[in-house]
Every structure is written in C-alpha cells, then in structure tokens.
C-alpha cells in the first residue's frame, strides 16, 4: 500500500510504499520489497510512477540543458567554464568559428565573461562540453538552488512569463541555478524570484505570486 500522496514532503529513509505497487524513478531505493526516499524533498506520484524531487543540491550536468556560466580560463583551443557545478565544462573555440583556434581566444571570450550555452555529450562521470554560446552583456546575475529552477520557470513557463510581464524585465534562467536579469524593475524581479525559491514547495504558488504583484509588489 502506498504510504504517501502526491506533493507530500518526505525525508531520507521514509517509507513510501511497496516495490510491487510503485515504479520508482528518481531518488528512491528499495529494501526488503519496500520503497524508501533517499533524499529530503517532495514526492511526486502519477499513477504508479513515483519520484522524489530534492529540496536542494548541486547542479549535475544533463544533455540539452541551457546553463549560464562564467569563463574561468582561456586556452589555445578552448575555454573552461564554471557552470555552478562540481564539474568544470570546456567549450571549444570551434563554437565561435572554424578559424577561431588560430586567434587569441580572449578576442572572443575573456576570463570573467558570462555566457549562456547548451550542455552536450555528458558521460557517466559528468564530463561534458558546451555549444552555442551567447555572451551576456551587462545585466544582473543571481543564484538560486538548482533544484528550485522548475518552480521559478513553472509549468509551460507560466511563472517565468508572469515575472517577465509584471516586472518588464528580461529574464533568462539557467538550469544550473544562475539567472540573468536586465531592464525593467530588476529589484522586483529579484525579490519575486527569491520568494519563489523560499516557498517552492507551497501549493498554488503561481497564483499567490500573481496576486501579490497585482496588489502590492512591495509585499513580494
């Protein structure tokens, strides 16, 4: 018998149900025919499919993720990029042109530059590479817990689009927990995102944030 409901908060070692009744997908383990949570987080149950979304944790690279990173070293044929992960990610000079490797790489990207790019070719030890970079000039970068990024974005980008509309800001969210904000009411956008991060496990959060922004934005 299933011991939890969808969106229940769970802790490591908590009994979630019987292995024979559940298809566990993520952050669960099986012992003596029972399924237990391996992390602190929120249980998501769809039919028999169960996963636990962690409350917090480091970003782990995944293919096709769009991330925001910082150039930390420029080499002859590549850049090394901090992607807010235990793993430094390289980006080949080929990504800015076939002849770029013959030129000084700092002519394209220098140490400290902020870029957005796509993760590709992640292997079993999380080696990966970056493709399709775009330099992000000016703007503000803030950090949120990477595990809270889905709440900042919302279903079908509902939360993100609302933040953009109601603050007039340009907002780009990296799957690695770095968020770039420019123009409009940047302060309001930052306060809204940080509130979403704090209250990520609150049900009906999109409507609550919308009502606050429509009523008294100073309350966000």
Q: Are both 85 and 106 inside the same structural domain?
A: yes
3 falls within a domain: no
State percent of the chain over pLDDT 70: 99
> What's the pTM value of the predicted model, to 2 decimals?
0.74
Q: Are both 123 and 172 inside the same structural domain?
A: no
77 falls within a domain: yes
Q: What is the CATH number of the domain that holds 28?
A: 2.40.50.100
- Chain center to CA of 83: 11
Instruction: Report d(CA 147, CA 2) in Å as an integer.
Output: 25
For range 180-199, the mean pLDDT: 95
Q: What's the domain range around 195?
A: 140-215
2 falls within a domain: no
Q: Are both 22 and 42 inside the same structural domain?
A: yes
> What's residue 1's pLDDT?
65
59 falls within a domain: no
Give the pLDDT band of residue 91 (cuts 50, 70, 90): very high
39 falls within a domain: yes
Q: In terms of pLDDT, which residue wins out, 39 or 70?
A: 70
Q: How many domains does the chain have?
A: 3
Residue 84 backbone dihedrals phi, psi, to 5 degrees: 65, 45
- pLDDT tens by residue, 61-83: 999 999 999 999 999 899 999 99
Q: Are both 149 and 131 inside the same structural domain?
A: no
- pLDDT tens by residue, 125-158: 788 999 999 999 889 999 999 989 999 999 899 9
Q: For residue 2, is pLDDT > 80?
A: no
Q: Picking from 7-11, 89-93, 182-186, 188-192, which range would have the lowest pLDDT averaged per residue?
A: 7-11
Q: In what order do the strands lie in the sheet with 28-31?
A: 15-18, 34-37, 28-31
Give the pLDDT band of residue 16 (cuts 50, 70, 90): very high
Q: Are both 82 and 50 inside the same structural domain?
A: no
Q: 140 pairs with which residues across the strands?
A: 181
Closest alpha carbon to 4 in 58, 61, 42: 42
Number of H helices, E strands in the chain: 4, 15
Q: What is the CATH number of the domain that holds 187?
A: 3.30.1370.10
61 falls within a domain: no
State percent of the chain over pLDDT 90: 53
Q: What is the CATH number of the domain that holds 79?
A: 2.40.50.140
């Amino acid at each position: 018998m299933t011991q939890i409901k969808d969106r229940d908060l769970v802790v490591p070692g908590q009994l979630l149900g019987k292995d024979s009744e559940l298809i566990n997908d993520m952050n669960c383990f099986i012992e003596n025919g029972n399924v237990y949570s391996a992390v602190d987080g929120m249980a998501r149950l769809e039919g028999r499919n169960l996963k636990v979304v962690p409350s917090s944790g480091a970003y782990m690279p995944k293919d096709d993720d769009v991330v925001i990173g910082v150039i930390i070293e420029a080499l002859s044929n590549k850049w090394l990029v901090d992607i807010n992960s235990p793993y430094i990610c390289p980006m080949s000079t080929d990504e800015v042109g076939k002849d770029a490797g013959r030129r000084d790489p700092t002519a394209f990207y220098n140490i400290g530059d902020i870029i957005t790019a796509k993760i590709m070719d992640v292997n079993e030890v999380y080696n990966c590479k970056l493709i399709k970079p775009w330099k992000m000039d000016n703007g503000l970068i803030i950090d949120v817990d990477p595990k809270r990024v889905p709440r900042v974005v919302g279903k079908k980008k509902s939360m993100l689009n609302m933040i953009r509309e109601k603050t007039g800001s340009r907002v780009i969210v990296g799957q690695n927990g770095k968020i770039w904000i420019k123009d409009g009411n940047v302060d309001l956008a930052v306060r809204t995102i940080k509130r979403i991060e704090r209250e990520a496990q609150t049900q009906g959060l999109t409507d609550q944030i919308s009502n606050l922004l429509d009523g008294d934005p100073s309350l966000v």
